[in-house]
Amino acid sequence: MSAPVLAVKDLHVHYGAIHALRGISIDVPAPGQVVALIGANGAGKTTTLRAITRMLKATSGSVAFQGEEITRLGSHDIVARGMAHAPEGRGIFLNLTVKENLELGAFLRTDSDGIRQDMERNFGLFPILKERITQLSGTLSGGEQQMLAVARALMSRPKLLLLDEPSLGLAPQVVERIFQVLREVSSQGVALLLVEQNAHKALQLAHRAYVLETGEVVMTGTGKELLASPEVRKAYLGE
């Protein structure tokens, strides 16, 4: 049996005296699987992603990617192994053009033909970006910036894509497009770990999901199971 794409075991993170993550254990089992993390603000969702990608140093615990321990690697080494992170707030370079941002997403790659192909593939997913290719990214709408953040992450040709609040603050039609693209990306074999306030959308997409509260996993199941859970429906779906 092959190792899971991602295996996080007993992860603890402190911000000074604050114990932000209290023994988080989550798996992304296989290529093409979508795993969602849902929970209220402050539950530890963003901290979990940042600890996985080593943007934050964990106090203890382990993170394995495709069977390899990566807990002590640098963020750039993790990217080189096939993990990409589209962070909360998008993190694009506003003073660079759309094309320059996409090229930066491929900065560790040397296959120029493949990079060109992937840029065209991204333009197929997000046609508006091709129309805006020479525009400074700071002039894009919020929805266009989010599309660019996802496309830039895909330019590294990841095996696992971490997404933090991709629908935050976006118009409903843009949210639909983002989730349509995520579904297409997962169908092509890219595993997704998704943090999302829109719990309904996230659970509809997810093969598996975890509910976080105050830095701990309090519930897990398939997306369908959690969508049907009375506790989840009351707490996170507004029902």
pTM listed for this prediction: 0.94
CA-based nearest residue to 70, from 226, 79, 32, 113: 79
Distance CA 56, CA 65 (A): 17
pLDDT > 90 in the chain, percent: 89
Q: Which amino acid would we find at residue 237?
A: L
Give the number of C-alpha atoms closer than 13 A to the C-alpha of residue 103, restricted to the C-beta side: 8
Cβ contacts of residue 34 below 8 Å, gap of 6+?
182, 186, 191, 192, 194, 205, 206, 207, 208, 223
Q: Annotate 36-70 with b (16+ C-beta within 10 A) or e (fewer).
A: bbbbeeebbbbbbbbbbbbebebeebebbbbeeeb
Q: What is residue 88's predicted lDDT score, i.e. its pLDDT?
A: 80
Q: Which amino acid would we find at residue 225?
A: E
Q: What is the pLDDT of residues 48-99, one digit of tens each?
A: 999 999 999 999 999 999 999 999 899 889 999 999 999 887 789 999 999 9
Is-contact 205 175, C-beta < 8 A? no
Question: Domain 1-82+159-239: which topology?
Answer: Rossmann fold (3.40.50)
Q: What is residue 135's predicted lDDT score, i.e. its pLDDT?
A: 97
Of the pLDDT bands very low, low, confident and very high (cuts 50, 70, 90), residue 238 is confident
Q: What's the mean pLDDT in 13-32?
A: 96
The residues spanned by each domain of the chain are 1-82+159-239, 89-157
